[in-house]
């Protein structure tokens, strides 16, 4: 790891990847410090996966440059490949083979001899709680188990950089927590992790720095703290019993929080961002609740949560995080 | 096959920092595998796939049996007076035809692999680049050998008596399998290039039907109109059939063998290069 003079595991400058007329990645600059988790946050179609595939040498960039530990992904692809590992969005193991066979195959491909590959495979299956499922075909694994065998396959040889492309999309909460724990352990051992996600709380929980991507461009970059400061630290969600009281509730909330309130699609629901200025977010929220009660408005549900990706996007771009497929059809 | 599908593990998995850290900091640092070792590993994968999905051997057993029986009894009486005499002419040809037709599954296999994303992992490994494809084709070579053996056994049962003996027959099968290895690279190219399994099948058929039927597999080219004889003259499959026949009859024809080896070599170089170009740019 001595070959990156500036302490960066990944560095891109003006990276561009186009598919026909679509600029999937449109001038992205990234600087990922070695030994950290770096989050790339964005909606479907923002260009996250494309950027990761360029960095993992699966796609050739059309412009700009990208380096992994100082090695250019285009001209030194082989050197990059010996440092990185990718867990894609879709199963990147052979579903027809058993868990054990998959890991032995990859063990042999990174250079273990037969016995060594088997030993390594068994170690990994044990560590990932898959020993019992070792002899079963991967297509018969549950979603959580499949993710784990995918990650195990990625660390068959401990990589210096691990790309995790939406590692928790579609997982149940328990499996998601397991994946989070695994990521924390991997990064604690010195591997740099580049994680793409659609969930702000995931990036917030794991990443040291986050880049928010939209339409192939980085629209915000910083620590989770900096990012949240720019979008507000939380949001208050209110559900009323009576839809007729919503206008009144909006007025009361705006007055007590002194910020704009959004009317949700649900006719009895409202959302407001609280930024933590003038007391903590919780204090502001409780003041708002008291004001609603004082005005005689019946509240069925009240919650204070982190801003959703939609709200982050509203704050940063003035448009919600929508799937880009429709937008391209219009443009 | 087991009837149980996804079973939940009896105990809930909790990632253990100790065990995981231990595997991450393993001191055994493997060295990059040789081109041969990497290709053999992928060949092993192809064998495992046959073990788990044995139905795929149906294509290399039932199909050749059907072809041999069908054409022997359909054309035998008309073309040679009786089926046993015709079989002496037809068997080497039908063997070539069946095996060459089976090569198209190579392209279908590559295409399915790509769709499933498992190739993404292989393509990010620091190994000899063609290894994944060479390994897949090595698995196919095993299938070609099974198909050839099936046809040969059936032929012997029906009365095929090759004068070339064991050596001649083995040499013929060897030449056929070697040529098919080279020929398969046409389909890896299409497998990478075309979007769906269906279109790979479609294109393969378009190429394979004329190449195998417009040849000397069923009839002697002297009975054909001149323009068709011209096509047969440059059709590499026709030369392969002639070479395999020569070997099995115990009259090796060095001209036909050379033609086959050279055309196989050219196909391997051209389509191997095109395949790797697509593989790297995909």
Per CB-CB distance under 8 Å, the chain B contacts of A106 are 121, 125
Alpha carbon B149 to its chain's center: 14
A129 touches chain B (CB under 8 A): yes
Domain assignment present for residue B59? The answer is yes
Nearest Cβ partner for A112 among B30, B44, B281 = B30
- Residue B282, min C-alpha distance to chain A (Å): 7
pTM of the model: 0.84
A275-A281-A283 Cα angle (round to 5): 140
Which pLDDT score is estimated for A323? 52
| Dihedral class, residue B223 (left if φ above 0, else alpha if ψ from -120 to 50, else beta) | alpha
* B144-158 per-position pLDDT tens digit: 999 999 999 999 999
Give the CATH fold of the A8-229 domain: Rossmann fold (3.40.50)
The pLDDT-based confidence of A320 (bands split at 50, 70, 90) is low
Closest CA to A93 of A54, A118, A132, A121: A121
What total number of domains does chain B contain? 1
**The pair of three-digit structure tokens given for residue B176, joined into one six-digit string:** 């056929």
State whether B23 and A155 contact (CB < 8 Å).
Answer: yes
B103-B105-B107 Cα angle (round to 5): 95
Closest CA to A196 of A51, A13, A27: A51
Which pLDDT score is estimated for B138? 94
Bridge partners, residue A301, by sequence? A239
Domain assignment present for residue B165? The answer is yes
- Residue B80, min C-alpha distance to chain A (Å): 47
* A221-269 per-position pLDDT tens digit: 998 888 777 766 677 888 999 888 888 888 888 888 777 777 877 888 8
Backbone angles phi, psi at B115, to 5 degrees: -60, -35
CATH of domain A234-305: 3.30.70.100
Mutate: best of B9, B124, B277, partner A, most A CBs <10 A: B124
Structural domain that includes position B217: 34-281
Per CB-CB distance under 8 Å, the chain B contacts of A181 are 14-15
Which pLDDT score is estimated for A92? 84
> What residue segments make up the domains of chain A, in order of their start?
8-229, 234-305
Nearest Cβ partner for A96 among B8, B53, B127 = B53
User: One fold for both A8-229 and A234-305?
Assistant: no
- Residue A119, min C-alpha distance to chain B (Å): 11
State whether B118 and A94 contact (CB < 8 Å).
Answer: yes
């Amino acid at each position: 790891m001595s070959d990156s003079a500036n302490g960066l595991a990944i560095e891109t400058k003006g990276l561009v990847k186009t598919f026909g007329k679509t600029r999937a990645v449109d001038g992205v600059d990234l600087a990922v410090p070695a030994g950290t988790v770096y989050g790339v946050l964005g909606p479907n179609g923002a260009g996250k996966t494309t950027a990761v595939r360029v960095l993992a040498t699966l796609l050739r960039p059309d412009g700009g440059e990208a380096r992994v530990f100082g090695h250019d992904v285009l001209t030194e692809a082989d050197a990059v490949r010996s440092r990185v590992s990718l867990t894609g969005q879709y199963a990147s193991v052979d579903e027809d083979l058993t868990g054990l066979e998959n890991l032995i195959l990859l063990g042999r491909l990174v250079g273990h001899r037969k016995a060594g590959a088997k030993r390594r495979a068994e170690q990994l299956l044990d560590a990932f709680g898959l020993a019992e499922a070792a002899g079963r075909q991967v297509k018969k694994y549950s979603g959580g188990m499949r993710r784990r065998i995918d990650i195990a396959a990625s660390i068959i040889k401990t990589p210096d950089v691990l790309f995790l492309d939406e590692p928790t999309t579609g997982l149940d909460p328990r499996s998601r927590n397991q994946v989070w724990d695994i990521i924390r352990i991997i990064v604690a051992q010195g591997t740099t992790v580049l994680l793409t996600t659609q969930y702000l709380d995931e990036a917030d929980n794991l990443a040291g720095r986050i880049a928010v991507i939209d339409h192939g461009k980085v629209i915000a970059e910083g620590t989770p703290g900096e990012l949240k400061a720019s979008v507000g630290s939380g949001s208050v969600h209110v559900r009323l019993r009576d839809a007729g009281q919503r206008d009144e509730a909006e007025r009361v909330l705006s007055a007590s929080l002194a910020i704009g309130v959004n009317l949700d699609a649900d006719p009895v629901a409202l959302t407001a961002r609280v930024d933590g200025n003038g007391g903590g977010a919780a204090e502001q929220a409780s003041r708002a609740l008291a004001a609603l009660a004082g005005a005689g408005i019946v509240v069925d549900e009240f919650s204070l949560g982190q801003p959703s990706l939609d709200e982050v996007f509203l704050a940063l771009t003035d448009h919600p995080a929508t799937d880009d497929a429709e937008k391209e059809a219009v443009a | 096959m087991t009837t149980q599908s996804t079973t939940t593990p009896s105990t809930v998995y909790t990632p253990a920092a100790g065990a995981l850290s231990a595997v991450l900091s393993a001191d055994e640092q493997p060295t990059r595998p040789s081109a041969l070792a990497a290709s053999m590993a992928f060949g092993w994968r192809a064998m495992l796939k046959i073990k788990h999905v044995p139905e795929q051997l149906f294509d290399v057993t039932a199909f050749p049996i059907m072809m041999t029986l069908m054409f022997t009894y359909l054309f035998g009486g008309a073309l040679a007076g009786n089926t046993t005499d015709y079989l002496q002419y037809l068997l080497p040809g039908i063997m070539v035809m069946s095996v060459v037709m089976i090569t198209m599954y190579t392209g279908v296999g590559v295409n399915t692999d790509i769709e499933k994303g498992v190739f993404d992992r292989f393509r990010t490994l620091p190994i000899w680049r063609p290894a994944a494809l060479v390994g897949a084709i090595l698995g196919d070579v095993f299938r070609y050998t099974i198909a050839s053996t099936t046809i040969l056994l059936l032929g012997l049962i029906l009365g095929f008596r090759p004068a070339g003996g064991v050596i001649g027959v083995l040499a013929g099968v060897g030449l056929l399998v070697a040529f098919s290895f080279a020929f398969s690279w046409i389909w890896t190219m299409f497998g990478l290039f075309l979007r769906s399994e269906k279109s790979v099948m479609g294109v393969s058929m378009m190429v394979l039907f004329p190449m195998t039927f417009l040849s000397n597999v069923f009839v002697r080219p002297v009975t054909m109109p001149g323009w068709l004889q011209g096509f047969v003259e440059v059709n590499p499959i026709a030369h392969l059939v002639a070479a395999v026949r020569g070997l099995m009859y115990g009259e090796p024809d060095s001209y036909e063998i050379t033609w086959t080896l050279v055309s196989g070599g050219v196909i391997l170089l051209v389509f191997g290069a095109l395949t790797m170009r697509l593989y790297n740019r995909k």
